[in-house]
Chain A
Amino acid sequence: MEVFSDEALNVTDSTDWLNTPLACLMPVEQAFRCHVCKDFYDSPMLTSCSHTFCSLCIRRCLSVDSKCPLCRATDQESKLRGNWALREAVEAFTKSRKALLEFAKVPPTVVAAPPDQNGSSSPPKRKATEMDGAKQEDQDIKRPRRSNRSTKTRAAQLTAAILEEEEDTNTTPSADADQDYVDQPPDDGLVACPICLTRMKVQQVDRHIDTSCPGSPEAAAALAAKRPTPQPIFPSLNSRLGQNAQTQNQKPPERLPALAYSMLRDTALRKKLSELGLSTHGSRQLLEKRHKEWITLWNANCDSSRPKKRSELLRDLDEWERTVGNPGASRIGMGMAMGGGMGVGQGPMARAQAAGAEIKDKEFDGKAWATKYGGSFGDLIKQARKGIKKQNLDGDEGNKKGEDGKEGGEKSSSPAELPTSQAREGEGESSSAAPPTPMEIVPPSSPPRPEQDEQQQTPGKARLLTEDTAMSGQVVPGTPEKGQWKTSSQQPPIAGDA
């Protein structure tokens, strides 16, 4: 599975911090991760029950069942509110994560450096690291003393330290750069440029040397003094807010309202889809799911600080369509089928068509299909064999159905393999969609018409039976396939919730 190897390489996890000196960051990172996707929050949203999830995650969850994944309180998409403070926190953390982790994994060089206090004569590079080391030592010595002082002075000192730190994060390499390095905490996750000593992220160093490195620390200082707005190491809060405001101004996000699909006729739904510029192809169920997915993607994108372009969203939808979106391919589809959409307004024709599409689908759950309809297939084969001897019966419907069936089965080279040769989960559809399609091909030698007629009957019965057994546990008596169907769709005895 190529996705696996790709993904496995890029997987970051809060456990990365274990076995490093910064193991204490593991819970910090955990707090920045969504409970659904286990990734860093992407556009975190607050639910009514005050839980936070990625916008896309919670919208997906709520569209399947309207409950908070954590506490199961009912909630609605429209009640979600952005958690922008968390978004900024996550952004800040993820930006520094890599450097922090690298720092944590490499044994700190500062410890190895000799604590030479009068470093003014030593080469610049060594000086910086030494001073860092010296500072750390200094702190180590001070710490016990500090804890003995009264809380008031301690608090004052801490405040001073915090102010100092804040200053540090906002200070940029300047004329008094050396001083800055000394004050900077050694675990800032940055590295010094080997030439000019400007501190920056590891991955920036190469580019910096190629392009903007002035050559020596003095030159860097001079350059920094000349430059009115040197590049900040961390973008300040204000500039970040400014950026956000800017992007938001550029694209005023307008969320799409959810539709009450049961209230919409097919034509109205198709119109809605085409108004959105989406495909109107496919079954009613697929249309609904496509519309729902688009709303989820779109609205989640509205919450993003860096909204994607419409074309990108369309690509996402396309990808969804090819994988999860296929009719009956997912439980989402089943849920909707259960919600009342099952077979509503669909004649046998429409169902047969849906079944054809379903089988063609690459996600087709052949195993489920085969077990579900195995008995029926067997019966149909028997009937077809008998039917060879019978008179041909006419049926316009049967002809059309035959076409659908061929369409559905054309992918398979060996008809007998059909039910298992294609993989796909098809629970929701299977109960509503009749199984004629593969059957059409199974007895290839037999004349088409009589068996088509048989088929016309069987799906109906089969469906009736499965639905009945599924919904009420009753078995319709007197059906020819009774024995088969009873076993294949029999429910387990209920053991109750554990």
Chain B
Amino acid sequence: MPVQFAAKRLGKELSKIQNGLPPGIELVSADDLEEWLLDIRVLDNNPLYLNETYRLKFRFSQSYPIEPPEVVFVKQADRPIPVHPHIYSNGIICLDLLGQQGWSPVQSVESVCMSLQSMLTGNTKNERPAGDEDFVRANKLRPKDIEFYYHDNSV
């Protein structure tokens, strides 16, 4: 049942996505129910993100949607990592929505993309998070493990 739980839910999301996504969000690939790639663009004229497209990687566990997906930006030649005080230069995103505490099963791939879109849209600071270099150099953990520690500390 839990296998079907995640697979069914993702199947539904996928069929919905294939029927259309909000402007500025595009599905790049969804070959299985474990890892999906999507592109997002910021739609307003925010100079920080003008004319750039960013690639997002979603990874789903068996417990999705009870558990949040792992969402990171991936860097490619034409897909930079957006500059944002909550996005590390290795693509890891510090967003409570994606953590165990902030996640809710009613969220979906689409809603996460839209949240990230609006997170970028609303940003005016041309900076990385504090300690970005150290973190990027030292971090070997996967995003969700970091999130785990992070939320643990913030409690």
Chain A interface (Cβ < 8 Å from any Cβ of B): 1, 3-4, 7-8, 10-11, 13-15, 18, 35-39, 56-57, 60-61, 64-65, 67, 69-70, 72, 297, 316, 319-320, 323-325, 329-332, 334-335, 338, 363, 367-368, 371-372, 374, 425, 427, 469-471, 473, 487-498
Contact = CB atoms under 8 A, between A and B. Distances in A.
Contacts of A332: 63, 66-67
Contacts of B141: 368, 371-372, 488-489
- Of the listed residues B1, B101, B129, the one surrounded by the most CB atoms of chain A closer than 10 A to its CB is B1
A419 B86 CA distance: 32
B22 interface: no
Given A371-B140, A487-B140, 20 more contacts: A3-B3, A4-B7, A8-B15, A11-B8, A13-B15, A15-B15, A35-B105, A35-B106, A37-B9, A69-B106, A70-B106, A331-B66, A471-B153, A491-B149, A492-B92, A492-B139, A493-B130, A495-B129, A495-B130, A497-B95
Interface string B109-128: 00000000001000000000
Interface of B: 1-5, 7-9, 11-16, 19-20, 32-34, 61-63, 65-67, 85-86, 88, 92-97, 100-102, 104-106, 108, 119, 129-132, 134-135, 138-142, 144-146, 148-150, 152-154
A467 to B, nearest CB: 11
A423 to B, nearest CB: 11
Given A330-B63, A470-B152, A493-B134, A335 B105 contact: no
B146 A330 contact: no
Closest 5 CB pairs of A and B: A493-B131, A495-B129, A15-B19, A497-B96, A498-B86
Contacts of B108: 38
B46 to A, nearest CB: 16
A492 B146 contact: yes
A331 B99 CA distance: 11
Contacts of A427: 144-145, 148
Contact of A11 (B12, B63, B106): B12
